[in-house]
Structure 1
Amino acid sequence: MTSTNKKATVFFLLLAFVCLGLQLQAVAAPKPEFYQLKIYHLNNQKQEDRLDAFLKEAYLPALHRAGIAKVGVFKPAEELAEKTTTPAKKLVYVFIPFRSSEQMFQLDSKLQKDKQFQSAGKDYLEAAHNNPVYDRMEVIMMEAFAGKPAFSMPNLKSNAADRVYELRSYEAATEKLHQNKIDMFNNGEMAIFDRLGFNAVFYGQVKAGSKMPNLLYMTTFENKAARDEKWKAFGEDPTWKKLSAMSEYANNFLRADIYLLRPTSYSDI
């Protein structure tokens, strides 16, 4: 083999190793999931009963048939409302995780073709204008953080009625500061939550919603006492104190809203 051929062989071998490395890196870095959070605003108990029936008997089963195995349905923990920054209202939260944006945007067309869903959900889907199932519905679309690209089922052992699911919303003054807060989560804050056993379900950057720029995340606890204990430990954690004192993360959120929730009896999460 000539010197030129040897050089060419070495070059192509190096190129092959680089390409293989890039392929392995792509496989090792999972694509972030997309999330949808629907928030139903209700006027009365009748609407709540009708919505519960629709979600339990029609919507969740249809989502399962569409390939979405786990859907979370939550309501405000009204007895804990005075402890939060936002008063409890008659609300229902529906959290839907998607493997991709395509799956999220194709869902409605799939449901339109699902005859079982159309039949089981008739009261909701064909409600009269003067007898709606809800007063208002918000829809928030999110993309998972790079540091937690997929949602997790909480590892809880207590009765569902005792569990506390905490949804937090962080708005920022600018898009740059908003991204800075996400970087803070990816660069250490989420690791602290994991170490202290916060049982996070998801972290999501809001791509479309009524509050922008914004991020949402959900942590879960066995009960209210455990929740308070975990947050006390978080506030006293040396790593958190060091991270939160860094000048590079100063003023990266403008307002934080806290919602304490309970899972419904038919929630998958």
Structure 2
Amino acid sequence: MSTSRVFELRTYQAAPGMGSRMHTRFRDHTLRIFRKHNMEPLAFFSPTDGANTEDTLIYLLGFESREAAEAAWTAFRADPEWQQVKAASEANGTVVEKTESVFLTAAPYSPMS
């Protein structure tokens, strides 16, 4: 079992016209629920180049290990509060259309290592 700190870089593409709703959900609910499940939000970004910049969210989470990340995501998805928030925010349609995830480890010379 690995105990090396890992980072997860996630990119969300909102459904057309749902970028504002996606950002509101993160700001008002998701961040707090992440922390409840030992997910460490490190940074959130909006791209400045390309199409649909207002509908794209890129963020970085930190975890104690890959196993901790998997356990945190399982707990997060099962959280009744998250399920309620997601359902309420999607009453008028899906908010996030596409999600990409990449797990990373810090290079030995990185300030984050």
| TM-score, normalised by the number of residues in structure 1 | 0.38
Task: Name which of 27, 39, 50 aligns with 1:198.
Answer: 39
- Structure 2 alignment gaps of length 5 or more: none
Q: Which has the larger radius of gyration?
A: 1
Map of 1:254-269 to 2, 5 A cutoff? 254-269=97-112
Partner of 1:188: 29
Question: Highest relative contact order (Cα 8 Å, sep 6+), 1 or 2?
Answer: 2
- Structure 1 alignment gaps of length 5 or more: 1-157
1:208 offset after TM fit, Å?
2.2
Q: Using the alignment, how far apart are the partners of 2:10 and 2:97 within structure 1?
A: 13
Q: Using the alignment, how far apart are the partners of 1:238 and 1:210 within structure 2?
A: 35
Q: Using the alignment, how far apart are the partners of 1:168 and 1:191 within structure 2?
A: 17
1:180 offset after TM fit, Å?
1.0
Q: Using the alignment, how far apart are the partners of 1:209 and 1:229 within structure 2?
A: 34
**Pair 1:238–1:194, CA change in 2 (3 A):** same
Partner of 1:215: 57
Partner of 2:75: 233
Work out whether residues 181 and 249 of structure 1, in 8 Å CA contact, stay in contact via their aligned partners in 2: no
- CA deviations on 1:211-242 (whole Å, 9 max, x unpaired) are 74311011111111111111111011111011
* Structure with the bigger percentage of strand: 2
* Structure with the bigger percentage of helix: 1
Secondary structure at 1:184 match in 2: helix
Q: Using the alignment, how far apart are the partners of 2:104 and 2:52 within structure 1?
A: 20
1:178 offset after TM fit, Å?
1.2
Task: Name which of 166, 176, 179 aligns with 2:8.
Answer: 166
Aligned amino acid, residue 32 of structure 2: A
**Pair 1:187–1:222, CA change in 2 (3 A):** same
1:249 offset after TM fit, Å?
6.7
Q: How many residues align?
A: 108
Aligned amino acid, residue 237 of structure 1: D
Q: Using the alignment, how far apart are the partners of 2:92 and 2:68 within structure 1?
A: 28
Q: Using the alignment, how far apart are the partners of 1:182 and 1:219 within structure 2?
A: 16
Moved over 6 A (4+): none
- CA deviations on 1:132-160 (whole Å, 9 max, x unpaired) are xxxxxxxxxxxxxxxxxxxxxxxxxx6xx
Secondary structure at 2:75 match in 1: helix
Matched-pair identity in %: 25
Secondary structure at 1:200 match in 2: strand
